[in-house]
Chain A
């Protein structure tokens, strides 16, 4: 297990310990919910991970360099923001795809914009959850106050990159 994974387990067990202190039934419910959540998410993994792996075989090695590479600058950030906004599926789809794009030459600032847009615009989530549960007015209000965030995040990352050595394709 890697460092972040060990930290995650320590935090999870600490919070579970807090649950046990509050009462054994609560802790039991937490474990039951964990189990249920795992089996609910497993089918997604079984299709999403092969999908990302096949796509990364199909995408030519440096196709992303020109449009989304480190040198694509603002236009690359804009394209990445649009792509992130229409990208369907949960994190089990998006993060493996970001690895795929990075291996194909996409830049770190551009992938930051893509991930931010996937969180902020999230077309699929607006249609399936936000609009049905909260209504169009809420969607409009939220987009009006947050539409510029993906591009801003990409530009800030671009400005900070010279000070950090980050390589997304490596880990």
Chain B
């Protein structure tokens, strides 16, 4: 129920912004510009849908195959850089939105991953998640930009995880 409410909250906010912006466009720029904008939106929609469906299919198929539990064994407190690398890789490959990724942090923690690996995991998911990259970034902003940006940010979760192991903030998974 709470999840439902959260999702609808952002839907309502974006809907209100869209209506306000739509009215402003119509009022300030005229009916022509209003229709042009709607046409652009429709165009973009048709452009994204094939990637969207493929991305969703890839995500749900991967979910049937991956077992985060087994991988967490490689992500313990003394797993070193290798553990951070595995955590980064798992995060990059983790499909789905926040409703899937954050509970997964708890699963990994329960299976033995340490705080550095968990920070690396969640940052890799949000920065370099393959779904976002393939469905949105590459089609919308161009493959060149998407690849170069990913190359720049790929090592960043490992750096953050390495730092997180040294930051004096203790964290225990909530019961």
Contact = CB atoms under 8 A, between A and B. Distances in A.
A99 B140 contact: yes
A145 B145 contact: no
Contacts of A55: 21
Interface string A40-83: 11011101111111111110000000000000000000000000
B171 A137 contact: yes
B102 to A, nearest CB: 4
Given A45-B45, A57-B25, A141-B169, A129 B102 contact: yes
A8 B51 contact: yes
A115 B58 contact: no
Interface of B: 6-7, 10-11, 13-15, 17-18, 21-22, 24-25, 28-29, 33-34, 36-38, 40-42, 44-45, 48, 50-65, 97-99, 102-103, 105-106, 115, 118-119, 122-123, 126-127, 132, 134-146, 148-149, 152-153, 156, 159-161, 163-164, 167, 169-171, 173-174
B145 A133 contact: no
A98 B145 CA distance: 12
Contacts of B115: 138, 141
Contacts of B163: 144-146
- B interface secondary structure, majority: helix
B170 to A, nearest CB: 7
Contacts of A149: 123, 127, 153, 156, 159-160
Q: Determine the interface band of chain A, counting residues with CB < 8 A from chain B.
A: 35 or more
Given A49-B41, A142-B160, A4 B119 contact: no
Contact of A134 (B6, B44, B106, B126): B106
Given A31-B57, A120-B123, A128 B98 contact: yes
B103 A133 contact: yes
